[in-house]
Structure 1
């Protein structure tokens, strides 16, 4: 089938309504939304720029002056620089590790299981959501590498866009319910809880958040649902578009290196420096894991990135091989570097630009939710609020610090289990990730896709996840009894 016949909606060219009706509903929905996105969905940079303008206008609508909004913009623009660097390194190190011969062999072995294109997409989805419970960044990187390797198997007839969306599912379904949950980690560690928040929430251990049986149940439901929807939305053979159809080059093997020609290049082609640096780095990693709880040590993004850098050094063996891989990897981080500062500005305007009453946009939203919530409706309404705010402030830990004082105070007043409120936040705030390109950027860089390629498939996940998550949050809230804040 020609590329032209696979373009547009992804349906067979020249097929009539009857032929289209024979396509399963979720697949047809994903293909139609994808076709719409290919025509109308802007680049991720344009998306965040438009969001910034909307938030700025919203701040002025509640009475903030243009000067206040501009100041908030400037002060927030660089607020995510440490996180921006961390995310850029996630993309770069993921590419560096992927381009090494040993990792290529490992991922190739992991890609041998699927026998069909749809099965391959579901397989990637399952791996993504399961690995995200351990670490969200590892999920993004490994699932992206796995999807790329599966795409090389032409006999699978796998849709590369659907595989990319499946690789991303850990960030939109389960990551916040796992051990790398920012909110759960913050509440479990007395040293990380702000002094103003401590009297409201107290210390909430993992046993009262991510390890509640209610939380485990939601996780199992989402793992199953994500995998099934990924399978049902994956285009069948004849409608699937491969990486080749999309004009994407999958070969990322390092170019052959020239021989050493001068004495000064000896160290570049020797593993001596690599082994010395790796030894130093492993000493620090050992220190982290022996002086901190394992769940805390493994969740740190700095630790994750350092381990991947060391792994990349070892897998490429010589400094010259490693540097060549880094040079080729840097472009995959371009979207992260230029777009994350804009998200920092959005968060600043939401939380710093206040109207005459001293309230910001986030205050107005939270006050509205708290004012209409009751004991029975609290979980449902808080879930909606967290999801809406998560669309504009896609930062698990930072957004929790914005929301926690209001929602946890209301939870105390309404006698809601405080650990469950954390899980309401975790489950709901991940939902907008399915349609917001913020967290997609590292994966898009690794897979050489655009957000519009993924959103049609992730939108179908969003439509199925949202009612299920909100219902479970509401239904399971009644199985938990309120416990007053526990002070350290």
Structure 2
């Protein structure tokens, strides 16, 4: 199966277009469908144009999730922490499981941080000549945060969006209301599911890690001696003094942490961190302080920005898709979102909703590799269907979160930042992540169905 996965990855790298092409195809398909069901050309283009810029706040919030995670992960003090952590494992298989555990736990705080931190930890372990560690398996383990549990934590785009009505696209809040974290990622059912996924993923890492002559070392793929966090270049002119002095960092940190202290003192911690603005502000403030000198902080931000290209160029298209789904009315005044929700109601029941929605979301996730963007597309009709079938709305969000991570295990799109750190190609690690996928599919869908039976329906709570 691993050999078959490597062949599939090589085929995908050769024939699959960029994710932007899939986003544009999504726009075209939805526009054609709206016209086919009776929407006028004027209504269709108006909905697309009105929705194109509707997600600008959410787009920038997602950009700063990536930047904040990268800035913290590449701070000098964190680099020293990584070197200390790399001395902990005593065996190759133990090292791979250690990388997987660190990656998955850190992804619950920030998937952007998890990718970079996990990659740097795998590189540091790759420098240890005493470890019989397969570098490919370690790279796959570093990806498990994004490939297994990231959407079950604080960086879940769907949970964050549903908890922030100001960030939601027009029309969605009327369907779902506001869903605080206590109704989504902090449900005991969600915490249990996350724990099971972590434990099972670690077991798969242990049993699939090559050993002995089969293990391929890091030096076969990349030069791991070089640090992924370049040293700060020396100051060359007097005008750069403030860039290399901690003075501005100290003054700005006093303001930033003063505001954060007031925010967490005036609200419950769960409510405060549920705000995407507060969440991103916290990571930027910590990153600024850890880098200490403005020049180091700015260099880290510069290295992080290329990873945000997909979010910046694709999210406006997702906003246009969401508006065409919810605002371009066709025959009988029905929108595409209404028609799709009706189809869900006909296909699924209250008992089977989790399995049907989970399988559908996982398949769509391979073609629309964006947690937040794909939720914006799906939410209007799947949540309407959840209302009609009397399914717990918060659990519907968690069904999406758990299933949305499945295609990430074999989709090269989100691997790119990690692969850049590791010096690997997608084909090098996807054989191992494919083995995880084979185990996760029945496990995730089964637990989503079983745990969903324990949650009663609650009507939407309007802001």
Other-structure match for 1:161: 136
- CA distance in 2 between counterparts of 1:170 and 1:50 reads 26
Native 8 Å contact 1:131 1:170 kept in 2 = yes
Aligned 1:30-45 pairs, distance under 5 A? 30-34=2-6, 36-38=8-10, 40-42=12-14
Native 8 Å contact 2:115 2:142 kept in 1 = yes
Other-structure match for 1:6: none
Give the direction of change, closer, same or farther, for the CA distance of 1:203–1:448 in structure 2 (3 Å limit): same
Other-structure match for 1:275: 250
Is 1:419 matched with 2:394? yes
- Aligned-residue offset at 1:129: 2.0
Compute the TM-score of the two structures, normalised by the length of structure 1.
0.76
Cα deviation, 1:338-383, whole Å, max 9, x if unaligned, reads: 5751464366347638796587876665443322222332221122
Other-structure match for 1:430: 405
Other-structure match for 1:4: none
- CA distance in 2 between counterparts of 1:76 and 1:449 reads 38
Native 8 Å contact 1:132 1:139 kept in 2 = yes
- Aligned-residue offset at 1:437: 3.8
Give the direction of change, closer, same or farther, for the CA distance of 1:251–1:218 in structure 2 (3 Å limit): same
Native 8 Å contact 2:164 2:275 kept in 1 = no
Other-structure match for 2:19: 48
Native 8 Å contact 1:107 1:146 kept in 2 = yes
Other-structure match for 1:378: 353
Native 8 Å contact 1:336 1:441 kept in 2 = no
- Aligned-residue offset at 1:222: 0.8
Query: Unaligned 5+ residue runs, structure 1?
Result: 1-28
- CA distance in 2 between counterparts of 1:338 and 1:149 reads 28
Alignment RMSD (CA, Å) = 4.0
Query: Unaligned 5+ residue runs, structure 2?
Result: none
Give the direction of change, closer, same or farther, for the CA distance of 1:262–1:62 in structure 2 (3 Å limit): closer
- CA distance in 1 between counterparts of 2:339 and 2:9 reads 32
Cα deviation, 1:389-431, whole Å, max 9, x if unaligned, reads: 3344444455445444433443343333333323222222222
Compute the TM-score of the two structures, normalised by the length of structure 2.
0.80
Other-structure match for 2:122: 147
Other-structure match for 1:352: 324
- CA distance in 2 between counterparts of 1:355 and 1:126 reads 48
- Aligned-residue offset at 1:152: 2.2
Aligned 1:24-423 pairs, distance under 5 A? 29-34=1-6, 36-38=8-10, 40-42=12-14, 46-52=17-23, 54-55=25-26, 58-59=29-30, 62=33, 64=35, 94=69, 96-187=71-162, 196-197=171-172, 200-249=175-224, 250-255=226-231, 257-258=233-234, 263-323=238-298, 325-326=299-300, 330-331=302-303, 333-337=305-309, 340-342=312-314, 344-345=316-317, 348-349=320-321, 352=324, 365-423=340-398
Among 442, 459, 463, the residue aligned to 1:467:
442
Give the direction of change, closer, same or farther, for the CA distance of 1:407–1:226 in structure 2 (3 Å limit): same
- Aligned-residue offset at 1:197: 5.0
SS of the residue aligned with 1:254?
coil
Give the direction of change, closer, same or farther, for the CA distance of 1:366–1:439 in structure 2 (3 Å limit): farther
- CA distance in 2 between counterparts of 1:197 and 1:71 reads 18
